């Protein structure tokens, strides 16, 4: 009969060994004779024993939990990343403690404090910004932290992002090659490094051809604000192409263009997004975009985190992963453009 909360002591009693013997059998790098292992395993099996992770964490100082702070799951890129992070860590024997945080830095700080209370072995901050005070605290608390999809000037912080500047530039080149000259940009939240980098690369790319941004409005990474930003941009002297700082907004931009302004995409306006979320491939949108390679970004994030946990490296790393432009049908395709469509 399986009973409530079996302890190692009970297993020890039944197996006729000491409690520490039981511990050794369940501790990866420990020594125990085959017959001890045998007896203990059997007793544990019969009793339904499993080690208490919390007790283990207390004494060993390792909880095998990773705190993940994420601001909102509405943009499909994040659930996707969360799922991948969770799976990747699960594979390494870690588990993910999720914390939602409104994107105000006050809130973030409070949330990170709560995370620290759980003695997590590391913190991943996905698309949220840290106050410098906070990063200081994490360093003081000796707990590794890596930024995901957001970089910070603070050189002491590790971060994994895609190559946003390059990505922005690729979009500029693509649009220019398509013959566009009246080109607009719908920005994300200005506090985000991703927003800034994409815009920088984009504007630079245009400048290389002597072209200046034709229009610019701000959507703050929200669909409704992206809609408003679109209406504003097209109210007078509309551009013939728009680069939108992420897909989540770009989908709203396309809908607004088509259903509220009666414009055709791409015949009247070309639209390009960023991220390559699943919906981009849906026939209704067929959105040309820059892919953020979520798999590789997650893999790197997990790598960096595990290295930090094992103290293999203490120097902060900024990792940028290059992502391709995925050419679909929402933007005019330049003649002779190498077909990269999916």
Number of residues this chain uses to bind DNA (CB under 7 A): 27
Return the sign of the alpha-carbon dihedral for residues 301, 307, 309, 311.
Answer: negative
Distance from C-alpha of 253 to C-alpha of 184, rounded to nearest angstrom = 12
| Termini Cα distance of the chain | 56
Distance from C-alpha of 48 to C-alpha of 138, rounded to nearest angstrom = 38
- Segment near DNA (CB under 7 A), from 21-29, 169-177, 211-219, 321-329? 21-29
| Of the residues 1, 2, 59, 315, which one makes contact with DNA according to CB under 7 A | 59
**Any residues with CB less than 8 A from the CB of 12 and at least 6 apart, and which?**
18, 19, 21, 22, 40, 43
Residues in contact with a copy of itself, shown as a per-residue x/- string from 263 to 302 under the rule CB under 8 A: ---------------xx--xxxx-----------------
The CA-based diameter of the chain, rounded to the nearest angstrom, is 85
Residue number with CB closer to DNA (142 or 236):
142
Is residue 342 at the binding interface for a copy of itself, with CB under 8 A as the rule?
no
Is residue 82 at the binding interface for a copy of itself, with CB under 8 A as the rule?
yes
Q: How many residues belong to the chain? A: 342
Q: Which of residues 174-213 bind a copy of itself (CB under 8 A)?
A: none
Q: Which of residues 106-125 bind a copy of itself (CB under 8 A)?
A: 113-114, 116-119
- Segment near a copy of itself (CB under 8 A), from 67-75, 121-129, 170-178, 195-203? 67-75
Short-list 192, 196, 128, 138, CA closest to 167: 196
Strand order in the sheet with 325-326: 215-218, 183-187, 241-244, 270-275, 288-291, 325-326
Which residues of the shown chain bind a copy of itself in the complex (CB under 8 A)? Answer: 2-5, 48, 50-55, 57-58, 63, 65, 72-74, 76, 78-80, 82-83, 86-87, 90, 95-100, 113-114, 116-119, 137, 140-142, 251-252, 254-256, 258-260, 278-279, 282-285
């Amino acid at each position: 009969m399986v009973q409530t909360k079996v302890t190692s002591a009970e297993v020890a009693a039944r197996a006729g060994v000491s409690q520490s013997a039981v511990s050794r059998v369940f501790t990866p790098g420990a020594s125990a004779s085959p017959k001890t292992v045998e007896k203990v395993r059997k007793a544990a099996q019969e009793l339904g024993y499993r080690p208490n992770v919390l007790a283990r964490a207390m004494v060993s100082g390792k909880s095998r939990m990773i705190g993940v702070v994420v601001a909102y799951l509405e943009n499909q890129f994040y659930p996707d990343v969360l799922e991948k992070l969770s799976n990747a860590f699960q594979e390494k024997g870690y588990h993910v403690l999720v914390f939602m945080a409104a994107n105000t830095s006050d809130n973030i700080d409070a949330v990170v404090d709560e995370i620290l209370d759980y003695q997590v072995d590391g913190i991943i901050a996905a698309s949220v910004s840290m106050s410098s005070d906070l990063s200081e605290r994490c360093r003081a608390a000796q707990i590794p932290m890596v930024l995901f999809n957001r970089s910070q000037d603070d050189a002491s912080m590790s971060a994994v992002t895609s190559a946003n500047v390059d990505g922005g530039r690729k979009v500029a080149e693509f649009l220019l090659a398509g013959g566009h000259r009246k080109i607009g940009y719908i920005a994300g939240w200005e506090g985000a490094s991703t927003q800034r980098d994409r815009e920088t690369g984009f504007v630079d790319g245009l400048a290389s051809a002597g072209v200046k941004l034709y229009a610019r409005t701000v959507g703050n990474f929200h669909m409704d604000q992206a809609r408003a930003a679109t209406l504003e941009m097209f109210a007078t002297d509309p551009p013939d192409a728009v680069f939108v700082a992420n897909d989540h907004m770009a989908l709203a931009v396309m809908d607004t263009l088509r259903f509220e302004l009666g414009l055709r995409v791409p015949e009247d306006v070309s639209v390009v997004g960023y991220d390559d979320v699943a919906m981009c491939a849906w026939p209704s949108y067929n959105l040309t975009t820059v892919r953020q390679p979520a798999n590789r970004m997650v893999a790197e994030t997990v790598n960096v985190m595990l290295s930090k946990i094992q103290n293999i490296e203490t120097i902060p790393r900024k990792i940028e992963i290059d992502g391709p432009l995925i050419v679909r049908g929402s933007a005019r395709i330049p003649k002779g453009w190498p077909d990269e469509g999916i």
